[in-house]
Chains A and B, each alone.
Chain A
Amino acid sequence: MNSNFLFMGYTRSDVINLVVVLAVALILIPLTIESDYWYASILIPWLCLALAAVGQQIVMGYAGQLALGAAGFMAAGAFACFNLILRVPYMPFPVALMLSGLIAAAFGVLFGLPSLRVRGIYLMVATLASQFFIVWMIDKFGWFKNYDTSGIITAQDIVIFGKPFTTPLEMYLVVVVVVAVLTILAINMTRGSTGRSWMAVRDMDIAAESMGISLLRTKLQAFAISAFFCGVAGALFAFTYLKSLEPVAFDIKLSFKILFMVILGGLGTISGAFIGAAFILLFPVVLNSLGNNVFHGAIDATIISAAEQVVFGALIIVFMIYEPLGMTKLWENVKQRFRFKREPKATLPKPQVT
C-alpha cells in the first residue's frame, strides 16, 4: 500500500485527479468558454457557495454538529473584507481575504460554544442566534457599511499586485485559485488526524473522549475552521458575484440553501459540497429555462419558484429515506456497478453475514 504514495502521502490517483481538475478549471474552461454569463452567473457563484458548503460540511458532515448559520459567517467575512480594504491603507486583497476568514472564525468559536453542552436541534437553535445576530449587527451599525445612506454598498475592485481583476474571467480565475487551495487544505485535514478526530466525535463522542480526544478543542476547532471557510466564501461571493453588498443577501434562506447543498451532496464528503452546490444552483436555472423555452412563459414565475422549493424539500426527504449519504454516494454506486460490469473478475468485498 505504502509504495503507492508518491509524495507527501498523496497517491498516484490523487495527483492525477488534481492535475486534471486544475487543467480543466484553469486552462480548458478559460479557453473554451467565452460567454461572460457562464463565469458571472454560474461558475463564480457555484465555486463560492461550494466553498461555503465545504465549511458547512466540516462542521456538520465531519464533526457532526448540526449548525445552521453559514450565511451569518459569510456575511461576517464579506463585510470584514469590505472594511479591511476600505480602512487599512495598502491592504492587499489576499491578506484581506485571509483576515476576513479569521474574523468569521472568531464568530464561529463564539457561537460554537453551545455545542459543548447541547446537540441536535438545540444546537441548531443556538447557531440560528449567530445567523440573526451577525446580520442584525451589520445592518444596525452604520460603520460596517461606511454610513452609506442607501444601506447598499459596492464592493471594491479586486487588485492583486497592482493588477486589477475585474472582468468575469479574471474574477473567475481568482475564485478558482482560492477555492482550489482551500479545498486541498480541507481534504488534507479530513484525511489526516484532524479529520479523524472530527469524525470520531461525530460517530461516538464518548468513545472519542475515552481515546484522549478533547471534545472542547475538537468541536470549537471544527466551528472555527468551518466559519473560516464560510467567511472567505462570503467575501469572495460579495466581491466577485454580488458586487453590491447588503446584509439581507446573507439571510436565513442562504443558510438553508447551504445546508441543503451539504445534505443532498452527501454528508461527510468534500466532493459532496461541490455536487450539492451545483445542483442547488443549477436546478432553478434549468427549471427557469424549461419554463421559458418549453412552456414559453405560460407558467407563472411564482409557480416555478414554488416548484423549486417543493423539489428541494422532497429530495431531502427522499435522500434521508433512501440514501442518507447523498448524491456522492449515488455516484459511487453507479461507478462501482460500471466497474463491476467492465471487469467481471474484480472481487468485491463479500458481504459479512453474522
Chain B
Amino acid sequence: MVEARRFPIGEPILEVKNISLRFGGVRAITDTSFNVFRHEIRAIIGPNGAGKSSLLNCINGIYKPQEGTIALNGEVLDKISPNIVARKGLSRTFQNLALFKRMSVLDNILVGRKLHMSANFLEVAFRLPKAVHEERENRAKCEEIVEFLEISHIRDTPVGRLPYGLQKKVELGRALATEADILLLDEPMAGMNVEEKRDMCRFILKVNDAFGTTMVLIEHDMGVVMDISDNVVVLDYGKVIGDGPPDEVRADQAVIDAYLGVAHD
C-alpha cells in the first residue's frame, strides 16, 4: 500500500459497543467492542466457534444481542432488523451461501438492486414508464456487475445449479449491487482453491479501490487476511483479544497464544 488511495481511511462508519449475545445459557459473544473505519478493509478472525458469524448476524440485525449498541454512520440503531439495516446502507454475504436458488444469476443480483427500485406493484403490473425505465437501468447495472465479476457466461443459469465457487461470486455480486457503504463478507473464500481465492481477493481489493466500499470480512485463511486487510479484529471465545493493523496483531502475544500458536502446533 505505497501509492495513495483514492479513498483514504476515514472516520468510524460502524461502531460496535459492548455487544453481548447469549443463546439460552450459551454465551456466543461477550462484551465486544470495536470500530470499523470508512473505506477500510477490516478482517475479523478467530478460531471456529469464536463468535465471528454471530457477530455479523448481530450487526446485520438477524440476531438481537441482549446488551450493547451498534451505530452505523454515527447513528445508533435501536430498532434493528435486516431490512432496516439494509436501508441504512449495509449489505452482506452469508457463510453457508444464502442465494435464491431457483432464480437466475442475473435475477439474484437484481434483487440486490431492490432498494434502488421504487416502482410499486401496480406500476410493475401495468408496465408504466417508471417501472420499465428503472427495470432497464438496473438491469444494465447488473450486467456491468456480471461482467466485472467475469460471470457473464452463466448470467441466465439458475444459481442452484452452479458450483460452490461461482455461487460465492454471485453472492458477492448481489452484495455489490446494493451499492451499500459497507459490506459484510462472511467467509467469502471458504471452500475455494488457491486460484479462486486469489481471484476473490482481487475482486475485493478492486471494489474497495473503485468504489471506496468499506469491507468487513471474516476469514479463516490467515495469510489471505493479512495481505489484504487494513485492520484485523481477533475474536476468541466471544471476546476481542486483538484489534489493530495486521503486523501488530501478528506480533501480539495473546493472539499468538489463542490462535496462531494453536495453528502452528
Contacts and interface: CB of A to CB of B under 8 A. Distances in A.
A207 B94 contact: yes
Contacts of B131: 192-193
A98 interface: no
A113 B233 CA distance: 42
A314 interface: no
A2 interface: yes
Contacts of A185: 125-126
B82 A203 contact: no
Interface in B77-107: 81-83, 85-87, 91-92, 94, 98-103, 107
A200 B164 CA distance: 19
Contacts of A353: 163
Interface residues of B, number: 46
A210 B60 contact: yes
Interface string A310-354: 000000000000000000000000000000000000000101111
A212 B81 CA distance: 10
Given A8-B132, A212-B178, A204 B101 contact: yes
**Residue from B112, B125, B132, B157 with most neighbouring chain A CB atoms (10 Å):** B125
B111 interface: yes
B121 A268 contact: no
Contacts of B165: 354
A9 B130 CA distance: 12
Contacts of A188: 124-127
Contact of A214 (B83, B100, B163, B164): B83
Given A208-B111, A211-B174, A268 B87 contact: no
Contacts of A91: none
Which interface class (under 10, 10 to 19, 20 to 34, 35 or more) fits A? 35 or more
Contact of B112 (A204, A206, A211): A211
A84 interface: no
B121 A207 contact: no
Interface in A194-220: 194-197, 199-200, 202-204, 206-215
A226 interface: no
B135 A194 contact: no
Q: Is the interface of A mostly helix, strand, loop or mixed?
A: helix
Nearest to B113: A193
A211 B111 contact: yes
A352 B111 CA distance: 24
A59 B157 CA distance: 24
Contacts of B161: 351-352
Contacts of A192: 119, 124-125, 127, 131, 135
Nearest to A216: B83
Given A9-B132, A204-B100, A209-B81, A197 B91 contact: no
User: When A and B form their complex, which 9 residue pairs have the shortest distance between CB atoms, in order from nearest?
Assistant: A212-B86, A207-B98, A203-B100, A192-B124, A354-B163, A209-B82, A212-B115, A185-B125, A194-B121
Interface of B: 60, 62, 81-83, 85-87, 91-92, 94, 98-103, 107, 110-112, 114-115, 117, 119, 121, 124-127, 131-132, 134-136, 140, 154, 157, 161-166, 174, 178
27 contacts: A9-B132, A192-B119, A192-B124, A192-B125, A192-B127, A192-B135, A194-B124, A197-B111, A197-B114, A199-B100, A207-B99, A209-B82, A210-B60, A210-B62, A210-B82, A210-B85, A211-B111, A211-B115, A211-B174, A212-B86, A212-B115, A213-B111, A214-B83, A225-B121, A268-B102, A349-B154, A352-B154
